[in-house]
Amino acid sequence: MRYDPPFRRTPGFIPALLVLGVLAAFPLLFTDSHARHLLILVFIYAIVAASWDLSLGYGGLVNFSHVALFAAGIYSYGILAKTLGVSPWLAIAAGGVVAVVLASAIALPILRLDGIYVILVTLAFSQLLYQIVISQSDVTGGTSGMVTLPGLKVGDYRFIGNNRIGYYYVALALFAASIAGLHAIIRSRLGRAMVALRDNKYYAMARGVSEARTRLAALAISAFFAGIAGGFYGSYIRVASPDAFGLGQLTLILSMVLAGGAGTLWGPAAGAFIITLLSEAIADYGSWRTIIISLIIIAVLIFYPGGFWAGIQDLRDLVDRLRTSMLALYRRRYARAIRERLLGATEKMITTRYGKVAVADTGGSGPPLLFIHGNSACKEAFKYQFADFAADHRVIAFDLPGHGVSHNMDPETAYNVPAYAEIAETVLQSLGVDAAAVFGWSLGGYVALELAARGKIAVRALAIAGTAPLNVVPDDFAAGYNPDSHLVLAGKRFYSPQEARDFAGSATAPRSADSAFLHTTFRRTDGRTRLYMISRIGVTDWPRQMRMLREGRIPFAILNGANDPFLNHAYIRDLTYGNIWTEKPHDIPDGKHAPFFNQPELFNAALRAFLQYAASLARRPEPAAAATAP
C-alpha cells in the first residue's frame, strides 16, 4: 500500500524545476568566470556525492573506494584523451566504463563482508589503485600526475571559451541527468531491493532479494556516475593528480554526503553545494581551512545528525505549521460570518485539555445530534444536515484539532482517535449535553465509535459512514479499504497540488462552487494530523469498539455511499453487529465517500429514519431483541 507517484506528481517537483531554472539562467545573469567555475565544481562534486549516496545511503554499503573510482575516471580520461588521442567525449564515457569495471572487481571481495570490513577492503582497494598510479610513472606521470590534458571542443569551439559557458552547461546537463538517473534507480525494483537489504537483510533475503547481485549492481551503478564525473573533471581541470586518491579528498566528499544527509539523494547534492562554496570562501586560510571544515562536519554530526537535508525538512515543517496556524487564525477572525451563514448556527471556541476547538451549535431544546467530520475536512461539511435537522434537533459539530478553525495542537498527544473522542466529550459537556446521537464520517467514524465505547457520554444512536470498523490493527486496514484508491494519500503530510485535488475530490466531491470550501479547508489542515493518525494508530483500543458493536447495546447504523471508492464493502458487510439498523449496512445510492454531501436528501432521509428507529427502541424495554427493520 506504499504510495509512490512519479516525480512530476510529488511536492518536490516544482522546487526542483525552480532550482534547475535558476541554475540554467545563472550564467546568463552572471558572466563572472570564477562564479561559473565554482558552480561547475559543485555540479561535479554533487554527482560524485549523490552517486556515493546510492551505495552508501541507500545500499548501506560503506564503500570507501568511491572517490578512488572518481580519480580513476580522471586518469582514464587523461590516458585515453592525451596519451592515446581518443576523442575527449568518448574518453569521458570511457571513464564511466573503467569505473564500473573496477567497481565490479571491488565488489567481489566485499560481497560477503559486513560493516567495518567493507570500509577496510574498499579503502585498501583505493590505496591499491593509488599505489599502481604512482608506481606507473611512464603512463600516469607518477606522483607529479598528468598535466595539459585536452579540453572539450566541438569543431573549433573550445568549451572553456566565453568564460566557461560551454563547460557550465555540460556540467549542468550531466548533473541533472545524473540526479534524474539516480532518482529513477532508487525508485526502481533495484532501489527497493537495496533499501530492503539495508533495513532488514534477512527479511529481504527471505523475500528473494539476492544480496550479492544487489550489492554488485549498487556498486557498479554508483561507480558509473563517479567515473563519468571523473572524466568530465579531467576534461575541465585538465590535470590528473594522485591527490584525488587521498584521504583529504575522501573526507571532503564524504562530508558532503553525511553533512548533506545520507540516504536522501538530494541531501548530498545540497551538501556538495554548501561545502564547495564554504571551502572556497575560506580557501585563503591555509591549514585553518581543513580545520574549520572538519569542525563543521563534527558539529553537524553531533548537533544535527540528519544533515542539511533534515534541516530543510525541518524548515518546511516550520513553514507548514506557521502557514496552517496563520490561515486558521485568519479564518477564525475574519471569515466567521461566512461559516455561520453556511451552517445557520453560532460558532464558539471551547477550551479543551489539548487546546481550543471551534464548535457550531444550533441550540434549542431538541435531542442533541453530534456530527464528527473526517480527515482533512471541517464541520461545515455537514451544512446540508444542519439545514435539515436544525428544525427538530440540537445540531452540534466541531472542528477536530488541526482542522477547520480549531487550533493546531501538540501532535504527540492531540492527533489521535482517543484524544479526538475526549475532545468531543469535553465539547458536549461544556455545552451541557450528556446524551446525544452521534454521526461520524470516515476518521470521525472512528472518533464516534471511540466516543461511544468510552461511555462517558450516553450515545443514544450511533451512525458512521466511510469507516471500516477494525478488529486487528493494522492488518484489517488492508481488508477494510481499497488500496488502489486515493486513500493511500490519507496518511501523507505534504501534498502536491495534484494530490490535494485527487484526495479532496475522492474524499468529498470534485471541486465545484458548492464543494470549493472543502478544498480550501484542505489546505489549512495541519499535515501532521494525517501523519499521526497513522503513526498513533496503536493508542486506540480497537477491540473494545468491536465488542461494543457486537454487544449491540447502542442502536447502530452504517450509511455508506454505495460508490465509496475507499471502502471494501464486503468486509464491512461481513462483520458481526449486535444491533444494526436494517440488519445490514444501509448504502446511499450514488453516494461516494461523503454520502451526506453527495446525496444529501437520500442521506438525510436515511439518517432521520435511523434516529426514529433508535428513539423507538429507547421506548421499549428489550432493545436487542427487537432489532428488526422498521
Partner 1 sequence: MTLQTFLFVCLSGVVLGALYALMATGLAVVWTTLGIFNFAHGTFIAAGAYLAWQLSQGGHSAGFLPNAAISIASLFAVGVLFHLLLVKPFERKPNAVLLSVMTTLAGASIVEGIINLVWGPRSKQLQSIVGDIRFAGIVMSYNDVVMIAVAVAILAAVGAFLRYSTIGRSMRAVAQNREAAQLLGLNVPLLYALAFGLSAALAGMAGLFVGSMRFMTPSMGSEPLMKALIVVIFGGIARFTSPIYAAFVVGMLEAFSTYYVGLYWTPAVLFALMIAVLMIKPEGLFGKYERSV
- Segment near partner 1 (CB under 8 A), from 16-24, 106-114, 387-395, 587-595? 106-114
Verify binding: residue 246, partner 1, rule CB under 8 A.
yes
Instruction: Give the 3-state secondary structure of 409-435.
Output: CCHHHHCCHHHHHHHHHHHHHHCCCCE
Report residue 468: phi and psi, to 5°. -105, 110
To partner 1, the closest distance from the beta carbon of 293 in angstroms equals: 7
To partner 1, the closest distance from the beta carbon of 306 in angstroms equals: 12
Question: With contact defined as beta carbons under 8 Å apart, do 94 and 84 qualify?
Answer: no
User: How many helices (H) does the chain have, and how many strands (E)?
Assistant: 27, 9
Inter-axis angle of helices 266-281 and 287-303, to 10 degrees?
150
Interface pick for partner 1 out of 14, 90, 247, 534 (rule CB under 8 A): 247
- Which residue, 254 or 421, has its beta carbon nearer to partner 1? 254
Please give the residues from 250 up to 309 whose contact with partner 1 meets the rule CB under 8 A. Answer: 250-251, 254-255, 258, 286-291, 293-295, 297-298, 301-302, 305
Of the CA atoms within 13 Å of residue 405, those in its CB half-sphere come to 23
To partner 1, the closest distance from the beta carbon of 134 in angstroms equals: 8
- Adjacent-strand bridge partners of 464: 440, 558
Verify binding: residue 86, partner 1, rule CB under 8 A.
no
Question: With contact defined as beta carbons under 8 Å apart, do 159 and 88 qualify?
Answer: no
- Which residue, 42 or 256, has its beta carbon nearer to partner 1? 256
Verify binding: residue 576, partner 1, rule CB under 8 A.
no
The C-alpha atoms of residue 372 and residue 424 are separated, in whole angstroms, by 8
- Give me the torsion for CA of 325, 329, 334, 340, rounded to 10°: 90
Please give the residues from 305 up to 344 whose contact with partner 1 meets the rule CB under 8 A. Answer: 305
- Which residue, 285 or 330, has its beta carbon nearer to partner 1? 285
- Which residue, 38 or 124, has its beta carbon nearer to partner 1? 124
Please give the full DSSP string across 64-89, using - where no structure is assigned.
Answer: TTHHHHHHHHHHHHIIIIIIS---HH
- Which residue, 111 or 176, has its beta carbon nearer to partner 1? 111
To partner 1, the closest distance from the beta carbon of 48 in angstroms equals: 16
Characterise 590 by phi-psi region: left (phi > 0), alpha (psi -120 to 50), beta (else): left
- Segment near partner 1 (CB under 8 A), from 249-257, 346-354, 463-471, 543-551? 249-257
Interface pick for partner 1 out of 7, 30, 117, 330 (rule CB under 8 A): 117
CA distance to 413, 453, 611, 619, 630, per residue, from 616 (Å): 39, 22, 9, 5, 9
Interface pick for partner 1 out of 131, 430, 576, 612 (rule CB under 8 A): 131
- Which residue, 63 or 426, has its beta carbon nearer to partner 1? 63
Site string for partner 1, 48-67 (x = CB under 8 A): --------------x-----
CA distance to 147, 376, 402, per residue, from 399 (Å): 70, 10, 8
| Pairing assessment for the beta strands 394-398 and 356-361 based on DSSP bridges | antiparallel
- Angle (nearest 5°) at CA 13 between 42 and 306: 60
- Which residue, 290 or 563, has its beta carbon nearer to partner 1? 290
- Which residue, 198 or 383, has its beta carbon nearer to partner 1? 198
Verify binding: residue 248, partner 1, rule CB under 8 A.
yes
Binding-site size, partner 1 (CB under 8 A): 42
Binding site for partner 1 (CB under 8 A): 62, 108-109, 112-113, 115-117, 119-121, 123-125, 127-128, 131-132, 134-135, 246-248, 250-251, 254-255, 258, 286-291, 293-295, 297-298, 301-302, 305
